[in-house]
């Protein structure tokens, strides 16, 4: 297996992180629990997207062949790396990522447009279900509740076991020639000042969670990559993330974090009445944390 252990170690640090509320999230008048959960959602979606961009980086740096759509292939790589670590925090990361694509799909009131069908990516809802397929294929038991909440068919779950294995084995065999025990790569991680107060809150959130550093840690060991690849957080003027082969740079735009915060805040607001009830009965300490971990899945159950 390729550096799945180090992926796990880097991301475990997240669970120890107590995020400070940012103005954007607070502005939506959410409870303390919702803020914490929302911030976890934002960071986890950033991590999934960064893994996705790192997949483009590997394809580009190692000149890997890609059969089919590269966007789908690197989504599968993100899933394989996160799930392969067999770590509960990383399982939450990927669950948040799937929820992120579902919420994005539902935010588009008019449904997919002609542009979406012509684009490089699968439709948001397809990307979400492709991740769910990897999840349930990797660990049917752990993700049963989540898959049930989405009414993901049993027959598909059976197929997904093989689809996950195929995706994992294909990536591992492609990467094998470009990996070496003990290989180390230095990345250059930069959180540029956001240039405005609202986005700076997200820059601070990502920095305190070490989101960009996660990529430097995971891909900085065991891969035959040349030093100097940049991983940059910045204000871009667009909600996106990029791999730029010429500059050897992964860029994560702070606007993307703000966008995910908006998605989850709207979701909390739309669940307002039910939230108020469940907050009153919330339990303390570790049990409460466990409930938060499962909260998104449980809530998605009620969505049509």
**Pattern 231-270, binding to Zn ion, x per CB under 5 A?**
----------------------------------------
Query: How far apart, in whole angstroms, are the C-alpha atoms of residue 40 and residue 34?
Result: 10
- Looking at the Cβ atoms of 71 and 88, the one nearer to Zn ion is 71
The residue among 71 and 86 lying less far from Zn ion, judged by its C-beta, is 71
Residue 30 structure tokens: 């959410």
Binding to Zn ion in span 142-201, by CB under 5 A: none
| C-beta closer to Zn ion: residue 60 or 200 | 60
Shortest Å distance, C-beta 260 to Zn ion:
16
Q: How far is the CB of 75 from Zn ion (least distance, A)?
A: 8
- Closest separation between CB of residue 74 and Zn ion, Å? 6
The nearer residue to Zn ion, 30 or 47, going by C-beta atoms, is 47
In whole angstroms, what is the distance from residue 133 CA to residue 137 CA?
Answer: 6
166-171: long-range contacts (C-beta < 8 A, 24 or more apart)? Answer: 167/76, 167/77, 167/79, 167/80, 167/134, 168/80, 168/84, 171/76, 171/77, 171/80
DSSP 141-165: TTTHHHHHHTT--HHHHHHHHHHHH
- Rounded to the nearest whole angstrom, what is the least distance from the CB of residue 28 to Zn ion in the complex? 29
Q: Minimum distance between the CB of residue 139 and Zn ion, rounded to whole angstroms?
A: 25
Residue written as token pair 């990536």: 171
Of the pair 71, 204, the CB lying nearest Zn ion is at 71
- Asked if residues 260 and 25 have their Cβ atoms less than 8 Å apart, the reply is no
- Residues between 24 and 83 that touch Zn ion (CB under 5 A): 71
User: Angle at CA 72, nearest 5°, toward 68 and 73?
Assistant: 70
Size of the site for Zn ion (CB under 5 A): 1
Which chain residues interact with Zn ion by CB under 5 A?
Answer: 71
């Amino acid at each position: 297996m390729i550096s799945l252990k180090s992926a796990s170690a880097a991301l475990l640090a997240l669970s120890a992180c107590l995020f400070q509320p940012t103005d954007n999230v607070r502005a939506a008048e959410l409870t303390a629990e919702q803020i914490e959960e929302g911030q976890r959602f934002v960071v986890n979606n950033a991590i999934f997207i960064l893994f996705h961009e790192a997949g483009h980086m590997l394809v580009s740096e190692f000149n890997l062949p890609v059969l089919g759509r590269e966007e789908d292939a690197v989504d599968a790589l993100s899933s394989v790396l996160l799930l392969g670590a067999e770590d509960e925090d990383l399982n939450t990361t990927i669950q948040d990522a799937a929820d992120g694509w579902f919420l994005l799909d539902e935010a588009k009131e008019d449904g997919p447009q002609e542009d979406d069908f012509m684009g490089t990516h699968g439709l948001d809802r397809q990307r979400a279900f492709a991740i769910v397929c990897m999840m349930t294929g990797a660990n049917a038991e752990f993700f049963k509740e989540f898959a049930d909440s989405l009414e993901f068919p049993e027959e598909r779950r059976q197929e997904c076991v093989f689809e996950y294995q195929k995706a994992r084995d294909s990536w591992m065999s492609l990467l094998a020639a470009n990996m070496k025990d003990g290989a180390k790569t230095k990345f250059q991680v930069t959180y540029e000042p956001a240039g405005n107060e609202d986005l700076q809150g997200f820059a601070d959130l990502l920095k305190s969670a070490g989101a960009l550093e996660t990529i430097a840690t995971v891909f900085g060991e065991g891969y035959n990559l040349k030093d100097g690849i940049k991983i940059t957080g910045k204000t871009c003027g667009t909600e996106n993330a990029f791999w730029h082969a010429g500059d050897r740079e992964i860029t994560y735009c702070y606007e993307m974090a703000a966008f995910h915060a908006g998605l989850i805040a709207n979701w909390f607001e739309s669940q307002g009445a039910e939230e108020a009830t469940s907050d009153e009965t919330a339990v303390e300490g570790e049990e409460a944390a466990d409930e938060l971990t499962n909260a998104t899945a449980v809530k998605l159950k009620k969505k049509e």
